[in-house]
Amino acid sequence: MTQLRITPLYTGSRPAESFFKWKKFDSEILDSEQKSFFKRTNLEFPDFWSSFSIDITASKYFRTINGKQESSLKQLVERVTKKLKSESVKQGYLDSQNARVFENELKYILYSQRAAFNSPVWFNLGVFKQPQTSACFIQSAGDSLEEIFDLLKNESQIFKYGSGSGSNFSNLRSYHEKLDSGGYSSGLLAFLNVFDTAAGAIKSGGITRRAAKMVIVDVDHPEIEDFIKLKSHEEDKADALLKAGFKGDFEGEILASLKGQNANNSVRVTDQFMKAVEQNKGWALRARKNKAVIKTVEAKGLWQSIAKAAHRCADPGLQFHDTINKWNPCAESDQIYGSNPCSEFMFLDDTSCNLASINLIHFLDADNNFLLEEFQHTIKIIFLAQELLIDFSKYPTTKIGINSHNFRPLGLGFTNLGSFFLKLGIAYDSNESRAWAAFITSLMTSEAYMNSHQFAKVRGPFKHYVKNKKSFTRVMKLHAKENGKIDWSLLPPDFKAICQENWKRVVTEATGKGFRNAQSTVIAPTGTISFFMNAETTGIEPEFSFIKYKNLVTGKKNSAGVKIKFVNQYFEHALKTLQYSQQEIEVIKTKLLDTGYLDEKLLKSAAHKKVFQTAVGSDPISPLAHLKMMAAVQSFVSGAISKTINLPSTSTVDDVAGAYLTAWELGLKSVAIYRDKSKLAQPLEALEGPKCGDCNSPTELRGGCFVCLNCGTSIACG
C-alpha cells in the first residue's frame, strides 16, 4: 500500500519542545471597569509568546480533562496532535515512523504560531471521543414544519460546540402562499424570528462565544422586500427606544428586544437580476412551489432598498449566485445555494468544513525574502491534519456526516496579510500588494490540491469525484487561466514558474487519480485563532488602526488595572524597511501614541503615507481598494472570502450601491459592507465597535465579525 512520507524541515530528530525556551506566566484579563474577568497563574508557554496570546489561549482553549485543568501550551497542543498522529496511522496515510515526524513537525508549527486550526478543534479535540471539529456548516432548509424545526434543533447542536451554520431559506413559502392542508403559510419572516430567538439564547461552546448564523434569501422570494428591511426597521425601533431612555449597549435591553440581530443576512442575486437593475426592468417575485409570479417590482427599486438598508445597518450583504456556481467543482451533484455565517465556505447544502489558517508574517525572513519551502511544508502538514479530522469527527446530522465524508471539502487559508504588507513596506492599496496576495493564494491553493492528489493515491478520490470530474477539471483550468493574469513583473522572478508548474500538474492530475477533497481553501475572518498566533491583522484585512488598547493588570494588591495604548509591532518594521532611522522611528511612534494619529508631516513621501493607510481614520483605505484586494485573490480560492468593506460614516446610499455593483463586476462571490457608526450599539468613539458581551471592552470589525481585542470573544460570528 502506498503511503505518504514526511521529511522533517523544522525539527530534524529533536523534539519540537526543545526548540523553545519555556517560561511560567500569570494570566489575568480585566473587564472595562478594570475588574478581574479571568485569572490563572503558573501557566507554561514559550518565552516569546505575548501576554495577549497567552491570555486568549488560556481563557478560550485550555480545558479540564478528567478533572485536571490544562495549564501549559504543551498540554493543549499534545491533546490535539496526539489524536491526529494516531489517526494518521489508523487511516492508512502514514506508517508509525512518519506519524512521529508528522506530529513533531505539527507541534513545532503550532508552538511557533505559524498556523492554527479553527476554534472547534481546540475546544473539542481530545476532550470528546467524537469531537465536532468543523467551524462551518451549511444546512438545507425545507418547507415542511418538520424540516423547519429539525433545522432549528440541528442549528442549536452546532452552536453548542462552538461552530456556525448558514442556510438558504428561500424554500420556505411566503405568507402569500397556500398550504397543502388549507390556509396560508405563516411566512418566511415568522419562522426566521423563531430561529433568531433560539440563536440569541445560545453561547457557542458553552461559554466561548455567541452563536454564529447566516440567513440567505433569494432575490425572487415573495417576502424579499420585508427581508431586506428587517434589520433596518429594527434599527428605527431601537432609535425610538434609545430616546425613551432604555439601555443601548450591545448586551442592553434595547438590543435584546430587537428581531433579527443574531444572524448575518444576505440576499442571493443572479446575473439576470443585476442586468435587470442596469436596464431598469421589472423583476418577478415568484411562488416557491409552482414559480407563479406573485408580484412584479422594479429591479432598480429593489436594488436601492438593499443599498439603503445596508447603509442604515450593514445588512443585508450580497451573494452572487451565478459567479458562485461558475466556480462550483461539483456542479453535477448540485448547485451551491448557501454559505457559512461569514460567507467564506460556499459549497453544497448539508456539508461542513474545518478551517485552518497560516500566519503569513512567519514566512518572511529578516531580509523580507519569502520562505517558499517553509510555506509549502507548512501547507503539507496542516492540510493533512485537516484531512484526518474529517473521518473521526462528529456531525450534527446524518446528512452532513455523509456529505462531509463523500465530498471532503477543506478550508485552508491565511491570516495577517495586512502585517505582511507592512513588513514589506508596501501599501495595502497598491498593485504590488495585490500581486503578492494573488501569488500567495494561488500557491496555497495549488499546493493544497497537489497534496489532495497525494491523499487520493493513498485512499482514493472523494466518493463523487468521477461524477463531477467534468466540472472539477473545468474549475481547475479556470484557476490555471487566472494564474496567468497575475502581474508577475512585480514579484520575485522564480514565483511565476512555480505556480505555473503547480497548476499544470493539478489540471493533469484531474484526469488521473483525481483528488481527495472537493474544495481546499477559503479566506476566513480568523478572529480568535489570529490572537492565538499573535497576528496583528486578521484574514485578508488591512490594519484597522495602528493604536491598540489593552486592560493591563498592575500587579499591586487591591489595585485597579490600567488601560494601556500600544502600536502594531509591524508599524516599526515598515518604517525600517522604508529606511527610517531609529531616532526618526521613535519620534513618529511617540507622536502616534500621544495623539492617536499618524503625523504625516514626519513621513518622507506621499508614497510612504499610503503604506500607513488603515481601515478607519482620517485617510482610510478606499472601498474600491478593499474590493480590488478581494478580487486579486478570489480566483484562487476554492470557497470565498470573509471580509468587510469599511465605509466612512459620511458615505451615501449611492456609495453603498456602487460598492455592491463593483463587487459583482469584479467577479466576487459575496460582499458585505460596514458604514462607520451605522450600528445602534456602536458608541461615539471613532475606532470602537460594539462593546464585548463578556468583558464590556471595545471591539473591532474583522471579516464580518466584531472581535474583542481584550478577551478575544467574537461577537455575532467568527
Cell of 117: 486550526
Q: What is the dihedral of CA 336, 341, 343, 345, to 10 degrees?
A: -60
Distance of alpha carbon 264 from alpha carbon 290, whole angstroms: 29
Beta bridge partners of 701: 706
Q: How far apart are CA 54 and CA 58, in angstroms?
A: 6
φ/ψ bin of 179: left (φ > 0), alpha (ψ from -120 to 50), beta (otherwise): beta
DSSP 5-35: ----SS-TTS-GGGGS-EEEEEEEEE-TTS-
Helix (H) or strand (E) holding 204, with range, is: strand 203-204
The closest alpha carbon to 169, from 350, 344, 337, belongs to: 337
- Residue 684 is classified by DSSP as S
Q: State the catalytic residue, choosing from 103, 177, 344, 447.
A: 344
DSSP H helical ranges for 538-677: 569-577, 582-595, 606-611, 623-634, 653-665
β-strand partners of 27? 40
Give dist(CA 196, CA 201) in Å, integer: 9
Residue 324: φ, ψ to 5°: -55, -45
Decide if 446 contacts 499 (C-beta within 8 A).
yes
Nearest CA among 284, 411, 444 for reference residue 339: 411
Place of cell 479535540: 125
Amino acid at position 205, single letter: G
CB atoms closer than 10 angstroms to residue 548? 18
| Cell output for 45 | 508557554
- Going by C-beta distance under 8 Å and a sequence separation of 6 or more, which residues neighbour residue 515? 449, 452, 453, 455, 456, 461, 462, 465, 472, 509
Residues in the chain: 718
Residue 625's identity, in one-letter code, is A
Residue 488: DSSP 8-state: G
Asked if 100 and 85 touch (Cβ cutoff 8 Å), the reply is yes
What is the residue-wise DSSP string for 341-354?
Answer: TTS----SSSEEE-
Closest alpha carbon to 543 in 436, 403, 687, 656? 687
C-alpha cell at 82: 496526539
Asked about 340 being catalytic, the answer comes back as yes
Question: DSSP of 651-679, one letter per residue?
Answer: --HHHHHHHHHHHHHTT-SEE-EEETT-S
**Nearest 10 degrees: Cα torsion 704, 708, 714, 717:** -20
C-alpha cell at 680: 445602534
Q: Work out whether the CA dihedral 588, 591, 596, 598 comes out positive or negative.
A: negative
Question: Which entry of 168, 340, 534, 696 is annotated as an active-site residue?
Answer: 340
Catalytic: 342? yes
Q: Residue 174 carries which DSSP code? A: P
Positions marked active-site? 340, 342, 344
